[in-house]
Amino acid sequence: MSTRPPITLDPDPDPWERHPNETAHKHGQFITYRDIGRTRTLTEAAQRLTLAYGHVRNLAAQYRWRERVEAYDRHLDRQYESMWLE
């Protein structure tokens, strides 16, 4: 289990963007998870990142990956819907 508290998600930038207390490297790991798509799992992310599952689970908790990808998926849904409404 991660010993560090989860990051605070500021309203700006968007949740899926890099946050002030997140290094570029850690954000890149999140992007790998995010870009797996809606069938994403931490197991798949660990395999793609060649990291231990437990380490990826801790990163996901600390950097709030689940909340962030849910916001990203909703964002994509809105873009898709607006494309059809135009």
- 2-44 per-position pLDDT tens digit: 568 887 777 778 999 999 889 999 999 999 999 999 999 999 9
For the cut 60, the answer to whether the pLDDT of residue 81 exceeds it is: yes
pLDDT for 82: 75
Percent of the chain with pLDDT over 70: 94
CA-based nearest residue to 36, from 48, 26, 28: 48
Q: At 57, is the secondary structure helix, strand, or coil? A: helix
d(CA 8, CA 85): 34
Domain boundaries defined on the chain? 24-85
Mean pLDDT taken over the chain: 91
